[in-house]
Structure 1
Amino acid sequence: MARVEIYTKFTCPYCFRAKRLLDDKGASYEEYEITQIPGKRDEMLERSNGRHTVPQIFIDGRHIGGSDDLYELDRQGGLDPLLQAG
Structure 2
Amino acid sequence: MPSPRRTKALLVALMSVLGLTLFLTYYTSSSQSPYMRTLRSVTSPGGRLSSSSEPVVPALPAAVYPEARAEIFTLLEANAVVVFSKSYCPYSKKAKALLLDKYSIVPAPYVVELDLRDNGAQLQAELEVVTGRGTVPNVLVNGKSIGGGDDVEQLDTDGTLKGTLLRLGGERITQVSLQSQAQ
Q: What is the CA–CA distance in structure 1 between the aligned matches of 2:89 and 2:96, rounded to whole Å?
A: 11
1:10 is aligned to 87
Could you say what the CA RMSD is over the residues aligned between the two structures, in angstroms? 1.9
Matched with 2:110 is 30
Q: How far apart, CA to CA, are the structure 2 residues paired with 1:4 and 1:37?
A: 22
Aligned to 1:61: 143
Stretch of structure 1 that moved more, 24-33 or 35-44: 35-44
Residue 74 of structure 1 is matched in structure 2 by 156
- TM-score when scaled to structure 1? 0.81
TM-score, reference length from structure 2: 0.42
Contact 2:125–2:134 (Cα < 8 Å) also in 1: no
Classify the secondary structure of the residue corresponding to 2:159.
coil
Using the TM superposition, give the Cα deviation of residue 74 of structure 1 relative to its aligned residue in structure 2, in angstroms: 1.7
Relative to structure 1, the CA distance from residue 31 to residue 37 in structure 2 (aligned partners, 3 Å threshold; closer, same or farther) is: farther
Query: Cα distance 1:59–1:40, how it changes in 2: closer, same or farther (>3 A)?
Result: same
Q: Report how many residues are paired.
A: 84
Kindly indicate which of the two structures has a greater share of residues assigned to strand: 1
Query: How far 1:9 sits from its partner (Å)?
Result: 0.9
More helix by share: 2
Structure 2 residues not aligned, in runs of 5+: 1-78, 171-183
CA distance in 2, matches of 1:83, 1:53: 21
Unpaired runs of 5+ residues, structure 1, are none
SS in structure 2 opposite 1:63? strand
- Distance in 1, matches of 2:165 and 2:111, equals 16
Which is higher, the Rg of structure 1 or of structure 2?
2
**Equivalent-residue separation in structure 1 for 2:112 and 2:130 (angstroms):** 13
Which consecutive aligned stretches of 4+ in structure 1 deviate over 6 angstroms post-superposition?
none
1:21 aligns with 2:101: no
Q: In 2, distance between residues paired with 1:57 and 1:81?
A: 15
Identical-pair percentage: 32
